[in-house]
Amino acid sequence: MNLFIDTNIILEIILGQHHDQEARSLLLTTHRHHLFLSDFSLHSIGVILFRRNQSDAFLDFCSDMVEPGRLAIIGLSVQHMNLVAQASKEFRLDFDDAYQYVTADKHNLVIVSFDADFDRTARGRKTPQAVLET
């Protein structure tokens, strides 16, 4: 299955939050799934971790998951921003969720997220647990 991993999945693990084991279990299934992360998510994770003085955690994430290709980085061009604005209006999403939605939609990926805002969209979302159960 081709899975679009939302920012919150990665942050759950790195920050040791409530659903970190569920998220970690999903990322360990790279042999069964193709995992994708947006360039927006990569940069957002960097912003959050640098603000927390955890630049080493960001670099570890990059060397463990991104550089070896466990997570493929994908994104949108400026020409797609009209689709982001359209998705924002249609589904009542803020910019980051609209960007994520359009990126997943353009690449025909299943959105994996803890963010219920995606439930209002045409693609919907799956939680890591739902993916693990399929």
Closest residue by Cα to residue 113 from 98, 99, 93, 129: 129
Amino acid 33: pLDDT:
87
DSSP assignment string, 29-44: TTTTSEEEEEHHHHHH
- The parent domain of residue 66 ranges over 2-132
Amino acid 102: pLDDT:
98
Amino acid 68: pLDDT:
81
Q: How far apart are CA 2 and CA 34, in angstroms?
A: 5
Amino acid 34: pLDDT:
92
Report helix, strand or coil for 74.
Answer: strand
Amino acid 32: pLDDT:
82
Tell how strand 2-5 and strand 34-38 pair up. parallel
CATH number, domain of 115, equals: 3.40.50.1010
Amino acid 30: pLDDT:
66
Closest residue by Cα to residue 118 from 102, 101, 106: 101
Number of domains within the chain:
1
Give pLDDT tens digits along the chain (134 positions).
999 999 999 999 999 999 999 999 998 876 788 999 999 999 999 999 999 999 999 999 999 988 887 899 999 999 999 999 999 999 999 999 999 999 999 999 999 999 999 999 999 999 999 999 98
Q: How many CB atoms neighbour CB 59 within 10 A? A: 12
